[in-house]
Chains A and B, each alone.
Chain A
């Protein structure tokens, strides 16, 4: 997955702006290249939890565009690796791109979670 620096900054800024809580949103991908970050609202604001809320019509419209979606959320202090909660709550996002940004470490990583297994997706900057 390619995440250009400008989009990475948008994610980082959103995550810092939501401190002390986790931030979440969607990253839109053209093939493997990220083209847009759509910040969401954390419907369960907490330093340890997120629940992604977007206007349902907006999200449904995104689904009709010819782009792939990656769910993005921040970890306030832990590394950008899926936690047990992330794995347990992956739900319909099984096998889909899943991006985590660690605010404390300023690190971003992408993953695929399916059947309880976590696979890293390589990320490059451009």
Chain B
């Protein structure tokens, strides 16, 4: 007979006993006999013909995983000890898997890169989180995956339903990827002045596209989508502007990744679109660094930067609580464009236009610090804006736009 010592966490499965008996010459035989006598133990200690991952088994004081595993021999009259295999830690799963089973597994865990040539002073470190490295090339992959998986988990979204979403483009493309892999049809409402690349990409990813008036910007896409959904209840509208899974994806992903990658964050800057990034990542980074200034880059009213939103244009997304923004910095289209060109010229970073707005704001806030760390979240890369003519247009209006800054 072999004595098997049972840890407190497994005693319910053996009727409260501290130790039980089992028979066998190897660990496999002993454990097989053990689960025959106490079937409730089976799922906790054996899985797929091997040891369950959360239990350690010791023979003669040695972990059998370092010996011959289940084939380790058990001496006559010996003792086998079962203990919980306790592991955890603050971070390691932030790295991407080397081989993934699905593109969905490659969403998030984006890199941070320092931008030394764009920092106004060497004592202030400026970092960019490269969300353009998500599978469809934007931060919205995180949001799309989170919204769809949360709706599936709650039972709101079931096979057979169709998705409808207003979007300035990136969210649509991300939803199209996730929807395609999960088998839902998708229709996107998108402003007709969105770049041709975006419309084309949406269609290539398999989405249907409905255009809303250019003059109404992304607010017009929201209005039209909500009207369509009201008229036809078969649509499921994830609606990133009001979906709590949006900020949660940034709390659990974007923000946690920043908080765990850096030792210090004094300023966090992101674009104000739905508010999801600023709310979610801002909250998580503030938990780690309570004195952080969470700053929104907002386009000047009437001067829309693609992908960003001016609160003065009249629609405040329900997930956005402006009281939780420490600062809001207005930035012009001209300055955003000048900065996105600087990013490419000086740092070799090919980013989207909203990234120009975010980095422009980050540089101004960095200039106010004597020393510290400023982190920017760059929502996407430049590819989807290639057809825009600003990349090589002459611009001399940058200095003038700086003076139109408003702080609060």
Partner of B91 from A24, A55, A64, A85 at Cβ < 8 Å: A85
Known A-B contacts A56-B58, A69-B8, A92-B10; A77 and B89 likewise in contact (beta carbons under 8 Å): no
User: By the criterion CB–CB under 8 Å, are B89 and A22 in contact?
Assistant: yes
Residue of B nearest to A48 (CB): B91
**Complex-state Cα separation, A45 to B144, whole angstroms:** 36
Q: Does B160 contact A (CB under 8 A)?
A: no
Does A76 sit within 8 A of B, measured CB to CB? yes
A84 to B251, CA, bound (A): 12
Instruction: Please encode chain B, from 58 to 93, with 1 for each CB lying within 8 Å of some chain A CB and 0 for all others.
Output: 100101000000000000000001011111111111
Q: Is the CB of A89 within 8 A of B55?
A: no
Whole-angstrom distance between the alpha carbons of A8 and B8 in the complex?
24
Interface contact A75-B90, CB-CB below 8 Å: yes
Q: State whether A48 touches B18 (Cβ < 8 A).
A: no
Contact between chains at A56 and B81 (CB < 8 Å): yes
Query: What residue in chain A is nearest B55 (Cβ atoms)?
Result: A92
A9-54 interface (Cβ within 8 A of B): 22, 24, 44, 46-52
Instruction: Report whether A81 and B287 are in contact in the complex, using a CB–CB cutoff of 8 Å.
Output: yes
For window 71-107 of A, CB contacts with B under 8 Å fall at 71, 73, 75-79, 81-86, 88-93, 96, 104
The stretch among B117-125, B175-183, B188-196, B252-260 that forms the contact with chain A is B252-260
B7 engages A85 (CB within 8 Å): no
Q: Which residues of B contact A48 (CB under 8 A)?
A: 89-92, 94, 260
B88 near A85: Cβ-Cβ < 8 Å: yes
Q: Which residues does chain B contribute within 8 Å of A47, judged by CB atoms?
A: 90-91
Bound complex: CA of A68 vs CA of B8, how far in Å?
9
Interface residues of B in 19-61 (CB under 8 A from A): 44, 53-56, 58, 61
In contact, B259 and A51 (Cβ under 8 angstroms): no
- What separation, in Å, do the CA atoms of A124 and B288 have in the docked complex? 22
Closest to B95 in A: A48
A75 to B288, CA, bound (A): 11
Within 8 Å CB of A84, what residues of B? 93, 252, 256
> Which of B53, B61, B86, B287 lies in contact with A52, CB distance below 8 A?
B86
Tell yes or no: A63 within 8 A of B by CB: yes
Determine whether B203 belongs to the interface, using a CB cutoff of 8 Å to chain A. no
Residue of A nearest to B10 (CB): A92
Given contacts A85-B90, A89-B87, list 12 more A-B pairs with CB under 8 A.
Answer: A48-B92, A48-B260, A49-B88, A56-B56, A56-B63, A60-B83, A77-B90, A78-B90, A83-B91, A91-B87, A92-B85, A92-B86
Binding site for B on A (CB under 8 A): 22, 24, 44, 46-52, 55-57, 59-60, 63-64, 68-69, 71, 73, 75-79, 81-86, 88-93, 96, 104
Residues of B within 8 A of A (CB): 5-10, 18, 44, 53-56, 58, 61, 63, 81, 83-94, 252, 256, 259-260, 263, 287-288
